[in-house]
Structure 1
Amino acid sequence: MKRIVGAVILLTVLGVAGYFYFKQPPKAQYKTQKVERGAITSTVSATGTLNAVVTVQVGTQVSGTIAKLYVDFNSPVKKGQPIAQIDPALFNSAVQQSRGNALNAEASLAKAKVTLADAKRTLGRNRELLKEGIIAQSDLDAAQTAYDSALAGVKAAEASVMQTRGALKQAETNLNYSTIRSPVDGTVVSRNVDVGQTVAASFQTPTLFTIAQDLTKMQIDTSVDESDISKLKVGQKATFTVDAYSDRQFEGSVVQIRNAPVVTQNVVTYVTVIAVDNKELKLKPGMTANVTVETLRKDNLLKVPAAALRFKPRSDKDTKASGKPGSGGMTGTGGGQGSGPGAKGRPGGKDGGQKVYTLNAEGKPVPVSITTGITDGSFVEVLTGNLKEGDDVIVEQVSQDKKKGGMGSPMGPRF
């Protein structure tokens, strides 16, 4: 009987102790990370499209039917090389007709010159005869009129010759244009015609071929947000990746920052051109590139984790109100890639209100005011503040729920 009473008393004591033990709020614990010294690189990220530096669209200046194609997709071409032929039959006929008109005009000019020479001789003879009184003044006037008319006839014939020569040159030029030639050295990246297709040269010349002048030199046209454009400068290094080679990082440099804004759904961006070396010809026009431009780099500086700037300890009242312990609240927005000095309200901002928390001897968080510099998204530069290398700063608040421990319920498990 004594054993039963003793067991009951023991269970009662354990129950009361367990009740007060589990009634206590869970004790907050914190995850910390050390303050380090090292390098930080500030970057700007953007997405763009790979293009050839010079792309030429080849059209036609004459209309006709495509008779021959000398090149295809990916064909290397040289400047002046024939790449297509429009049926030249009509153009040959036009050249022959214009040449015949030119010869006829030249013959008319020769005839007019003969007439002029005859009228000139007659005029001179009549002047002498008039002096001797053999002919009347009217005869001299008639000879003068004939001379002037012959002179005008020569000028008209000369104009006709010039006109027909121009028509002949135009016909020969059109015949020459029937052979479409490459205007540059390069590679054919697009062919938009086939043999037998009729092309019409109108106000807007149709594009038959697209030729990339040099695919070993390419560029990326990126769109950079207006908030980041001030950080970019010509000559800055850039790295990028493409989906086709996701395990490889390519290099380039900023060569142009265009001033013309591009507005899309009230978002203002600026086109920034990245020059790329493509000697291996792995990169192709139209590929999407994810670009990262290095805007600033500092070495041997004091830096804290960006998560430490976002941390804010929860009070006991906050923990009870939420019904469960959790991570600390957030201050700022975190400062991803592309943030830099002067970005207020996020890591990297010099607003003087930045705080991190360290643990005192009792294990409670203590705020430390700091001012910050550049960031790479993971770490933030510490400009001033009572921190030194090796100090632990809080990055997350975690609480240990005692009810999840190994003791279990004091009344035993429920079934």
Structure 2
Amino acid sequence: MNKSSLVKTLLPVIILLGAVVVAIILITSKKPPEKKPAETKAFLVDAQAVNRESVQFAVETQGNVLPRNQTDISAQVSGRVAELSEVFVAGGMFEKGDVLVTLEQHDYETELKLAEAELAQAQAALTEELARGEVARQEWQSVNSMAPPELGLRKPQLAREQANVKAALAKLERAKRNLDRTQIRAPYNGLVVSRNVDIGQFVSIGMQIGTLYSTDVAEVRLPVADSDMAFIDLERGFQQKDNVVLQARVNGVRHQWHADLVRSEGILDAASRVSYVVARVEDPYNRGEQDNQDMPLRFGQFVQANISAGQSRDLFVLPRSVLRLDQTVLTVNDNNELQIKPVDVARTNAQKVYIAAGLKEGDMVVMSAVPNPFEGMKVRLSGEQGDSPTPAEKDKPESSEKVEVGAQADE
């Protein structure tokens, strides 16, 4: 092997070994990277200071419109139906004192005449007995100076005739009443619900001839849950006017009527566990001179009622989402640490929660969702330096707190 061939063979090997030596030198001389401790930021929350607000609650309920007076009228005397009023039909309107039914009167007119004749006879007999007593007194005095006895002056006979006159007067009054009762009159302003008799029908004493409703006043019996009774000031509500608003849809159009809260039934229903209050509507059929309602409020109408008869209360009003399932609220203290506070909830709805106790004025209440919160957990507040959320925090899904709030809202 000549010299040139040896050089060509060894040169690549020498170059490769040189590269390996340089690489080893570079690797061994490289300084390790400086290690810095990883910085973990506290969880970012949105917290707001809260203060009490004056709140007046309105209780929502429903009920049916009923008349204050409902009467099943009946006959006090018997007889054949001789005449019916034109308004004595189902739905007919009448005024107090209107004659609805007239029974045949001939027999009662005859009884009245007999009673008048009997009274005349009794009065004549009394007059005659008075004269006889005077004659007897004069005759006694003419023959005897002593006081005459009562029998001698015919006083027992006089008392008997006076009693006969009183009896005849009583019979006459009864005959007049019976004759008047042949005309059955309306006891109040109202409407006819049903009629049970017709012309020519014989009516006996006590027979029901129809049903009437009074139209002067309508009442609505409203059930109120025991938890809502705390928001109704009954004593104050009974003194206010128009503190109940009734609503109903009639012929496809929603109408409103104003009513007054007038009384409570004072007992708790054992079956439904609710109390009942009564609202009153004056002149529901607009029969008076002043029509205060937009349209008549008919008996039997089902209405929604809004009762605003309570006193204002100072409460914390917060979004419904801040209330947890265990009736607690998350707050942030001065050291930016979470606190889990149990609260006394006065009332809730789909949007708001009203808290009566458990919070203080100025408390920082967490408005955003916090996954797996615990007492003393470090957090950052919006608005502080370096509080910009990381991309991971932006993309992080909402915690299970939202689900719990939704479940509680459904409850």
Q: TM-score range by the shorter chain?
A: 0.5 to 0.7
Percent pairwise identity: 17
| CA distance in structure 1 between the partners assigned to 2:48 and 2:179 by the alignment | 78
- Confirm or deny that 1:113 pairs with 2:130: yes
Contact 2:47 2:364 (8 Å CA) reproduced? no
Q: Name the residue aligned to 2:274.
A: 269
Query: Structure 1 residue aligned with 2:116, among 99, 113, 133?
Result: 99
Contact 1:36 1:302 (8 Å CA) reproduced? no
Q: Give the SS at the match of 1:84.
A: strand
Cα drift, residue 237 of structure 1:
3.4
Relative to structure 1, the CA distance from residue 102 to residue 194 in structure 2 (aligned partners, 3 Å threshold; closer, same or farther) is: same
Counterpart of 1:387, as a letter, is V
Contact 1:64 1:200 (8 Å CA) reproduced? yes
Q: Name the residue aligned to 2:27.
A: none
| CA distance in structure 1 between the partners assigned to 2:365 and 2:54 by the alignment | 17
Q: Give the SS at the match of 1:222.
A: strand
Higher relative contact order structure (alpha carbons within 8 Å, sequence separation ≥ 6):
1
Q: Name the residue aligned to 1:52.
A: 67
Query: Structure 1 residue aligned with 2:173, among 169, 172, 175?
Result: 169
Cα drift, residue 111 of structure 1:
2.6
| 1:228-276 Cα deviation digits (max 9, x unpaired) | 22321214833343354665252435523425315343x3332211233
Q: Name the residue aligned to 1:74.
A: 91
Cα drift, residue 180 of structure 1:
1.5
Query: Structure 1 residue aligned with 2:261, among 247, 255, 261?
Result: 255
Q: Name the residue aligned to 2:76.
A: 61
Relative to structure 1, the CA distance from residue 247 to residue 367 in structure 2 (aligned partners, 3 Å threshold; closer, same or farther) is: farther
| 1:178-207 Cα deviation digits (max 9, x unpaired) | 1112232344344343333444435xx846
Cα drift, residue 68 of structure 1:
1.5
Q: Give the SS at the match of 1:119.
A: helix
User: Of the two, which has the highest radius of gyration?
Assistant: 2
Contact 1:237 1:251 (8 Å CA) reproduced? no
Cα drift, residue 211 of structure 1:
3.6
Q: Name the residue aligned to 1:229.
A: 229
Aligned CA RMSD, in angstroms, stands at: 4.2
Q: Give the SS at the match of 1:122.
A: helix
Q: Name the residue aligned to 1:282.
A: 296
- Confirm or deny that 1:375 pairs with 2:348: yes
| CA distance in structure 2 between the partners assigned to 1:145 and 1:239 by the alignment | 77
Q: Name the residue aligned to 2:28.
A: none
Relative to structure 1, the CA distance from residue 252 to residue 35 in structure 2 (aligned partners, 3 Å threshold; closer, same or farther) is: farther
Structure 1 unaligned regions, length at least 5? 1-31, 129-139, 311-330, 333-344, 346-352, 358-365, 399-415
Relative to structure 1, the CA distance from residue 249 to residue 107 in structure 2 (aligned partners, 3 Å threshold; closer, same or farther) is: closer
* Count of residue pairs brought into register by the alignment: 300
| CA distance in structure 1 between the partners assigned to 2:262 and 2:119 by the alignment | 54
Cα drift, residue 49 of structure 1:
1.5
Relative to structure 1, the CA distance from residue 88 to residue 34 in structure 2 (aligned partners, 3 Å threshold; closer, same or farther) is: farther
Contact 1:240 1:251 (8 Å CA) reproduced? yes
Structure 2 unaligned regions, length at least 5? 1-44, 285-292, 333-337, 371-397, 405-411
Cα drift, residue 50 of structure 1:
0.7
Q: Give the SS at the match of 1:152.
A: helix
Contact 1:65 1:86 (8 Å CA) reproduced? yes
| CA distance in structure 1 between the partners assigned to 2:252 and 2:330 by the alignment | 38
Q: Name the residue aligned to 1:210.
A: 212
Q: Give the SS at the match of 1:124.
A: helix
Q: Give the SS at the match of 1:272.
A: strand
Counterpart of 2:258, as a letter, is G
Contact 2:219 2:280 (8 Å CA) reproduced? yes
Cα drift, residue 99 of structure 1:
1.4
Relative to structure 1, the CA distance from residue 86 to residue 273 in structure 2 (aligned partners, 3 Å threshold; closer, same or farther) is: same
Q: Give the SS at the match of 2:61.
A: strand
Contact 1:55 1:212 (8 Å CA) reproduced? yes
Q: Name the residue aligned to 2:192.
A: 188
| CA distance in structure 2 between the partners assigned to 1:193 and 1:34 by the alignment | 76
| CA distance in structure 1 between the partners assigned to 2:104 and 2:214 by the alignment | 26
| CA distance in structure 2 between the partners assigned to 1:50 and 1:226 by the alignment | 22
| CA distance in structure 2 between the partners assigned to 1:223 and 1:283 by the alignment | 19
Contact 1:40 1:297 (8 Å CA) reproduced? yes
